[in-house]
Amino acid sequence: PLLLTCRLTGKALQVVSALSPTDGADYDKVKSAVLTAYELVPEAYRQRFRFEKPKLNQSYVEYAHMKSVLFEKWCSASHISTLSDLKELILIEEFKRHLPEKLVLYLNEQKVNSFSEAALLADEFSLTHRVRETRTDANRAFRPSVRLTPSSNSEKPECFYCHKRGHVIRDCYSLKLKNRRTGSSPNKDRPEIACCDKTHAEKPSPCFKPFLSEGFVSLPGSEDDTKVVILRDTGASLTLIKRSLLPFSENSQAGYSVMLQGIEMGAISAEMHHIKLSCPLVSGDFLVGVLDELPTKGVDLILGNDAAGGLVVPLPELIFEPEVHDEGPRCLLVC
């Protein structure tokens, strides 16, 4: 045990040190304690197995081996020992894929191992919450409404021109007096509204021009590419994309969300999804955070350091036949 303790570090050292002298001398118990300390929950192994993708410098044989190892870890963490247990595991997973998120969280908390038990708990949860919602709606329906007295200011109309109560803009004396002075028609009882072109309002600021590029994104397994405007942000640790660009679903979900914090020190949650990205800087499969809107107008995707690393602008390309642009008449030097 002393020789083994000298070789261990971190969590493994803490676990072995906590064992009794008798258990510390038993190899099987030491091995079981160390593996248990580093073991993840079954849901973590399931997500890693489902969303494991081939890496850039990885052969398909290595990828198949990694898939097999992750599947074995998922089964081991779920205590699968027979074909019947494996059948229950697959059925429960498929059952959860078509349930609301709130119901899936409830079933995960109950740690169900039987498909029939999961179905019964789902029905009980749905019926219980449906009764609660019905009672809440009934209480709202019989709640007496508060009537305001005729002298209340909320019943008096408000003028959109002078913002005084008691009349509408059609009968506004101040507006009629202004029209008489300027000589305009009294029928124009609507205030002037300034309009601007939406395309110009949504264009990125010119200061971002050196870091802007265009690329294409799509969901894994889909051939439909969507053109996007990309901003390379070296201050972003995570790549972000607008939700309206792709039809994100449970098939592209990574199974978790992350908390984002900006310069205003506020925190928002972003779901993580798998996408395929092709742009001048990087290309491949990436995990990105999905938001309804991005802080930079006119930008569809913010390329963070997780995907681009240290690249800021595309590397220059060396071509064998340079293109020469002929501008102006040719000149011949004569000595």
CATH topology (fold) of 201-308? Cathepsin D, subunit A; domain 1 (2.40.70)
Contact 89, 80 (CB under 8 A): yes
pLDDT of residue 255: 84
pTM for this structure? 0.38
Residue 91: what pLDDT?
Answer: 92
Contacts of 86 (CB under 8 A, 6+ apart): 75, 80
pLDDT (0 to 100) of residue 144 = 46
Residue carrying the six token digits 């205003």: 264
Any bridge partners for residue 326, and if so which?
none
Q: Domain residues of the chain, as ranges?
A: 2-38, 152-194, 201-308
- CA–CA separation, 105 and 99 (whole Å): 10
The pLDDT tens digits along the chain (335 residues) read: 566 666 667 777 777 777 777 777 777 777 777 766 666 677 877 888 888 888 888 898 998 998 999 899 888 888 888 998 889 988 988 998 888 888 888 888 888 888 999 899 999 888 887 645 544 444 444 444 444 444 444 567 777 777 777 777 777 877 777 776 665 554 444 544 444 444 445 677 788 888 888 899 999 888 888 999 998 888 888 899 998 888 888 888 888 888 887 777 777 888 899 998 888 888 888 989 998 888 888 899 998 888 888 877 766 666 666 666 555 555 555 55
- The per-residue pLDDT for 108 is 84
Closest C-alpha to 303, from 207, 201, 214, 202: 214
